[in-house]
Chain A
Amino acid sequence: MPVSLKLLKTSTFRLAAVYLVVFLLSVGAILGYVYWSTVALLEQQTENTIEAEVQGFAEQYRQRGLNGILDTVRRRSRAEEDSVYLLANQIGRRLAGNLASLPQQAAGNTPGWIEFPYEVDSPRGIRHHQAKAFYTVLEGNFRLVVGRDVEERRKFARIIRGTLFWAIALTLVLGVGGGLLMSRNFLRRIEQINASSRVIMAGNFAERMPMSGADDELDRLSTALNEMLDQIERLMKGMREVSSNVAHDLKTPLTRMRARLEDALRGNGNDHRDALQDTIAEADQLLNTFNALLSIARAEAGQAREGFSQMDLCEMVRDIAELYEPTVEEQGGEFDIAVCDGVDVFADRQLMAQAMTNLLDNAVKYGRDSEQGSIKVAVSVEATDKEIHIVVADHGPGIPEADRERVKERFVRLDESRSEQGSGLGLSLVAGVMKLHNGRFELEDNEPGLKARLVLPRPAQDS
């Protein structure tokens, strides 16, 4: 499609065109009204003066006879520059007046309005002017023409008509031009968005919609689209990660399982039971991993809000802490619980508890103080006006600052912890759950140890 045609098809241009038509119609109507009423008024004035003059001549004729009217006609012919007069006898011969001869239109015995061209002597030569006159036949068959030169009026009307025409023409040109210009500007920006979309569709997911910086509706559209793209990119990245990690982290145990079964099949019957038990244990571990992946994916996609309800966060934290307390104490560790009371939140109790459980699992597994060799875990809940902080802190080796973001990704396990059993999904699930709750998951230095902080936004207090 040629660019010009494309411009005409934009919504901006159509809008401009509609406005233009409305504007033209109103301008035309106003100017037309002014024109017609001015012209009609001037015409009326001319006719009124001529009629009055004719009345005057007729009066003269009645009172003073032919000489009186001849006198008056001669006098006025000299005095009035833009008036025409003619008094002729019955055969049309001129008796007095500034017209050379009786105009063709003034024939017969019927009085009435006539218009005719005539010649005027002016310093610049003979000019052809138009006159409007009343033609009447006096008693004795004398013919009288009384009129006015309407050349000026005609010129005036012509000028007004011209003005009208040019005004409309100019409006049309400016309107169409402006419309095209606006459309081109609009079209250019839409084209940029289209181009970006095509780039994204072609597979470059890092591309974003252009911004003009004007903060207009197109910029707002671009912003919204970009936010959507960010979200899609995050989800896609998550999916890609999952698929590649699933390929790796699920294939490894499957390979092991298959090898073990094959080995058992080759060996004598005594090994079968052990091999089968190991295989079931491995299958269970795989299922755990699989379920954890699904939970993370659901939480991260933000689709798992069916389980949300009003819940007492402190009670949940105390429950879970109490679930772990004996385990820690059994290993000669210390377990501190400092939980405030009555903090109600709208959250998924099961998922929040699962997140807490994952953090405490880690604290129990890795929270061993390297010097004293005992576990020290502290759980606390603090509520401010705007946020609720759940903190799980241990005295273990902690996580180096460089790795603190990385460990939240799926299947990421720090090297020294390879010996411990685990899927590498625990912290990813915590991160996913916090994202679902519009909260934050932060890992900090407990000096020594790790401090895991879950931050939930606190709903505005109505009461």
Chain B
Amino acid sequence: MSISAHITDELPAGDDADTMRILVIEDDREAASWLIKGLKECGHVADLASDGVDGLELARDGNYDVLIVDRMLPKLDGLSVIRMLREQNVMTPVLILSALADVDEKVEGLRAGGDDYLGKPYAFSEMLARIEGLSRRQGAEPQKTNITVGDLSVNLLTRTAKRGDTQIILQPREFKLLEYLMRNADNVVTRTMLLENVWDYHFDPQTNVIDVHISRLRAKIDKDFDTPLLHTVRGAGYMIRAG
């Protein structure tokens, strides 16, 4: 997995309301300390477990919003940790971080009960966007048929979008793109996440084809209105938010 984002000073800092309790299960102390430092700087609370057994204990008892699990761990490997948690009905969202990042390995990780998979090395912003997406997915009501951000709303049943009173005509793919952005409203969505979730392809194109799709979508939803909703987060990706 390649990384197209650069770390900049514009890391999206979480609001206090969005503070997450995160458990990092990772045996490489240096990597783990960088990760925890970054998470804390973004206003999250992060604990560390440095082997699989400790990780399983903490994940079971602690009330975490998201788990970040490395695959290759001492004592008990990451996938086993996830499997055992799921067997015990612990449904905390899990992001798997691993140097094993081929498509089949990703599939294996997701089958074990992981919710998302990120290959090492990764960009911190990409990782952050993904765990924020995960914790949101956890909170969202699955039955929702309407998503609204500001005066923009999409109807998931009729697959139509409206801004204020104006109907917005969207191609099917544009609708999927907007739907994904709306589901992750107020969170950064990276280009890789878009390619994975909207197009279902797990690699990076060399040219920034996604940007053109975004700018077309932006032309439809933002161009004729005063307040832009679709923002570019420099060096990270995109975000839909009201105001």
Contact = CB atoms under 8 A, between A and B. Distances in A.
A357 B205 contact: yes
A384 interface: no
Contacts of B216: 326
A284 B4 CA distance: 7
Interface in B98-118: 102-104
Given A280-B7, A284-B3, A350 B212 contact: no
A291 B199 contact: no
Contacts of A365: 207
Interface stretch (A7-15, A101-109, A316-324, A444-452): A316-324
B2 A322 contact: no
B2 A327 contact: no
A307 B103 contact: yes
B203 A357 contact: yes
Contacts, number: 66
Is chain A's binding surface mostly helix, strand, loop or mixed? Answer: helix
A354 B215 CA distance: 23
A287 B204 CA distance: 12
Nearest to A361: B206
A320 B3 CA distance: 20
Interface residues of B, number: 26
A350 B102 CA distance: 11
B162 interface: no
B29 interface: no
B6 A291 contact: no
Nearest to A423: B206
A400 B94 CA distance: 51
A324 B209 contact: yes
A122 interface: no
Contacts of A327: 207, 209, 212
Interface string B193-218: 00000010111111101001101100
A252 to B, nearest CB: 18
A284 B2 CA distance: 6
Is chain B's binding surface mostly helix, strand, loop or mixed? Answer: loop
Given A298-B102, A326-B212, A350 B3 contact: no
A281 B212 CA distance: 21
B199 A319 contact: yes
Interface string A336-366: 0000000000000010011001101100110
A282 to B, nearest CB: 11
Contacts of A326: 209, 212-213, 216
Contacts of B1: 291
A5 B229 CA distance: 91
Which of A287, A326, A330, A426 gathers most chain B CB within 10 Å? A326
Given A307-B103, A326-B216, A350 B201 contact: yes
B121 interface: yes
A178 interface: no
B104 A307 contact: yes
A270 interface: no
A306 interface: yes
B207 A353 contact: no
Contact of B206 (A283, A353, A426): A426
A433 B6 CA distance: 30
Contacts of A283: 121
Contact of B2 (A288, A320, A421): A288
Nearest to A365: B207
Contacts of A304: 102, 104
Given A323-B199, A327-B212, A277 B6 contact: yes
A52 B226 CA distance: 146
Interface string A276-302: 010011011001100100000010000
A322 B205 CA distance: 13
Contacts of A322: 173
A291 B2 contact: yes
Interface of A: 277, 280-281, 283-284, 287-288, 291, 298, 304, 306-307, 319-320, 322-324, 326-327, 330, 350, 353-354, 357-358, 360-361, 364-365, 421-422, 426
Identify the 4 closest CB pairs spanning chains A and B, nearest first.
A326-B212, A288-B2, A306-B104, A327-B212
27 contacts: A277-B8, A280-B6, A284-B3, A284-B6, A287-B3, A287-B121, A288-B2, A288-B206, A291-B1, A298-B102, A307-B103, A319-B201, A322-B173, A323-B199, A324-B209, A326-B213, A327-B207, A327-B209, A353-B201, A353-B203, A354-B201, A357-B201, A357-B205, A360-B205, A361-B206, A421-B206, A426-B206
